[in-house]
Structure 1
């Protein structure tokens, strides 16, 4: 068997020793370049990187993480619905952060099922992931306590955990909704309806609270036009707002708890050719194309995912630090269009 010019065996994976020999530098210099230590001289770093590329050298991330006290160089992300752009954006942002730390991200969906959430969490713990980011579906996360106490951190995103202490990254649901309903009141509306659901008790609870606070400040009865759905189907929202509009004293404005509720409400309004001042939590890609004007609560979803992932890596570096709660701010933005006079907009799909 003939060795290569640098003395390495072409049948085996090149090592740092091979790179050091090919670049004419010390093994310590190769290690510092591989670990992206910024104090290496530029000309030496260039020689090392050239040798790495020529030899096909790949850093052993598992060994590096074992030396630093980590185990698998993987973290887990459990979200509720992979098809929902909100959660897929969070996953993309968390992946970008994980790549900066030479870490793989394993993503799974609980499908809003608390039993499935628990199954996925325990499975990832068994796989020895270094940490977890979780959008909880259930209202009991006490089963996290043992693993967190053993040193595997978790960060909860969108909703705080119940039954354990952990870092959280949340949206400012209450303030966003309160600001939105205050705008409706400032425009002169007194009959303001609300349509929310119960699929996420925390976020919807915060949004309902924000609406009630704004209505209470203005002396408006928040329960007069209020519907709480038990489904996220847009048609359920359409039926609910239809009942409000058929009442003797219908609302003139409506707050929708999320964008799926908004879609059902808009469809019902188009069907009835009805004008109603609309406001909703959650901006989304096609909101500017809605056939009715609407003011929405927007926020930076990527920031939410990025923040949660960075919190997890900080926790891995400082496991004894106090738990923290970070809140992503919201803002109001006008979306939708005004239909042309006399023209009937097509129903939403």
Structure 2
């Protein structure tokens, strides 16, 4: 079977070739239903637009672009990752093309497909899907691929990670060391591998001290500030609320802080967050966090791409960046009794 064409995609999706072209080029005016149909047909047929004749191509068949697929470029963590990658790319005369997946596996695959169709020189992916085997063709074709923040499944490529489980264990250990035993957990979507690792680190820290977590104090599937804020209000409506909180994602931390301030509990409930965020040190009390280093992660991920492009070879490996506990006051609040 030959390479799928735009007309093949149009036929399978029951739309016109023009509609397929508009979806591929992310032009406005196409209904959500048609975008979904075209995206599904592209994935099923393995269609890749042929842009090799476009003005993006340069000497040696390169396009001077790197495709970057992030969770959400508006999130402070993702934006620092993006900026660090951009700085490394600029030093090489290369531009970054970036998109957000918003924890949507279909969007991840669609973005990768768009970037691959534009013949990017390399791909950096923070995955949302449970299997990235769809990247095999790109990897076999020689496109350098690096995963960042989350490990891949179904492919073996370089991966830049932190030890989420150990970082969460240290975060919870901080409030345990200050006398807390009723510690709430507020976590991201349970479909996110880093969220699962951080929950396990929370459990590890409590097990270290012989503390059995109260199931009512464990709240998962929070992905926005608003959801976290509502969850904290529910926790403190319980007959036996927690005396400390571990918030396992920066937006969750921000929502929790807002709720504690509304409740007037910001000076009586300890809080340690995973991920730093802007102005965390200027709040009262300052927010204690286990900080990742997205700048180091982004620079390392981009540098691995350029080393591969320069012809270096090594077996794909996990490249780990350490976390750092920053004590600012909120995690050092002791329980009232």
Common topology (TM > 0.5) = yes
Q: Residue 252 and residue 174 in structure 1: after superposition, are their counterparts in 2 closer, same or farther (change >3 A)?
A: same
- Contact (CA 8 Å) 1:266, 1:292: kept in 2 or not? no
- Contact (CA 8 Å) 2:67, 2:97: kept in 1 or not? yes
Query: 1:95 and 2:89 equivalent?
Result: no
Give the alignment partner of residue 308 of structure 2, picking from 312, 315, 318: 315
Q: Specify the alignment match of 2:52 in structure 1.
A: none
Query: 1:331 and 2:327 equivalent?
Result: no
In the TM superposition, residue 204 of structure 1 has moved relative to its aligned partner by 0.6
Match of 1:289, SS state, is coil
Q: Residue 307 and residue 231 in structure 1: after superposition, are their counterparts in 2 closer, same or farther (change >3 A)?
A: same
Query: 1:82 and 2:73 equivalent?
Result: yes
Match of 2:151, SS state, is coil
Give the alignment partner of residue 240 of structure 1, picking from 231, 247, 257: 231
Alignment map for 1:1-349 (pairs within 5 Å): 62-63=58-59, 66=60, 71-198=62-189, 201-274=192-265, 275-318=268-311, 320-335=313-328
CA distance in 2, matches of 1:71, 1:90: 24
* Alignment size in residue pairs: 273
Listed as ranges, the gaps of 5+ residues in structure 2 are 1-56, 332-337
- Contact (CA 8 Å) 1:277, 1:294: kept in 2 or not? no
Listed as ranges, the gaps of 5+ residues in structure 1 are 1-60, 339-349
Q: Residue 293 and residue 82 in structure 1: after superposition, are their counterparts in 2 closer, same or farther (change >3 A)?
A: closer
Match of 1:287, SS state, is coil
In the TM superposition, residue 276 of structure 1 has moved relative to its aligned partner by 0.5
CA distance in 2, matches of 1:183, 1:76: 39
Q: Residue 113 and residue 319 in structure 1: after superposition, are their counterparts in 2 closer, same or farther (change >3 A)?
A: farther
RMSD: 2.2
CA distance in 1, matches of 2:97, 2:255: 34
- Contact (CA 8 Å) 2:128, 2:192: kept in 1 or not? no
Q: Which range moved further: 207-216 or 269-278?
A: 269-278
Q: Residue 235 and residue 71 in structure 1: after superposition, are their counterparts in 2 closer, same or farther (change >3 A)?
A: closer
Match of 1:132, SS state, is strand
Q: Residue 165 and residue 111 in structure 1: after superposition, are their counterparts in 2 closer, same or farther (change >3 A)?
A: same
In the TM superposition, residue 315 of structure 1 has moved relative to its aligned partner by 2.3
Greater relative CO (CA pairs within 8 A, separation 6+): 2
In the TM superposition, residue 218 of structure 1 has moved relative to its aligned partner by 0.5
- Contact (CA 8 Å) 2:108, 2:128: kept in 1 or not? yes
Match of 1:125, SS state, is helix
Using structure 1 for the length normalisation, give the TM-score: 0.73
CA distance in 2, matches of 1:292, 1:76: 40
Q: Residue 89 and residue 108 in structure 1: after superposition, are their counterparts in 2 closer, same or farther (change >3 A)?
A: same
Q: Residue 268 and residue 108 in structure 1: after superposition, are their counterparts in 2 closer, same or farther (change >3 A)?
A: closer
Match of 2:74, SS state, is coil
CA distance in 1, matches of 2:255, 2:137: 43
In the TM superposition, residue 141 of structure 1 has moved relative to its aligned partner by 1.0
In the TM superposition, residue 192 of structure 1 has moved relative to its aligned partner by 1.2
Match of 1:156, SS state, is strand
- Contact (CA 8 Å) 1:157, 1:168: kept in 2 or not? yes
After TM superposition, where is structure 1 displaced by more than 4 Å over at least 4 residues in a row? none
In the TM superposition, residue 225 of structure 1 has moved relative to its aligned partner by 4.5
- Contact (CA 8 Å) 2:276, 2:289: kept in 1 or not? yes
Higher Rg of the two aligned structures: 1
Match of 1:107, SS state, is strand
